[in-house]
Amino acid sequence: MTNRDTLSFVGEAISVRLDNEAARALRKVQATGLSQSEAIRQAILAAAKTLGNPQRLAIEIAALEADAEDRAEMLRVAELMEYLRG
């Protein structure tokens, strides 16, 4: 008689198309030693956690708004965009 085990759970496979920015980010995360799949899983979980916690998101927004350097950079970028629009 042969003993066999059957795995009842196999993760859902998905297909993702990455733009250049996302591909660079993925390579950066993989350089830490994570596999491609694990890097993507962790990113999805982190995004879901942030979305599921509006208070945390509000804190991050408040910190960005309080950052004078960041606000100045946003204004410079906005002015450049207006200039380029003509």
For residues 30 and 37, what is the distance between their CA atoms, to the nearest angstrom?
Answer: 9
DSSP string, 36-67: HHHHHHHHHHHHHHHHT-HHHHHHHHHHHHH-
For residues 64 and 11, what is the distance between their CA atoms, to the nearest angstrom?
Answer: 37
Per-residue pLDDT, 55:
87
pLDDT, block means (10 residues), the chain with 86 residues: 59 86 91 92 88 83 90 92 90
For residues 85 and 70, what is the distance between their CA atoms, to the nearest angstrom?
Answer: 23
Per-residue pLDDT, 79:
94
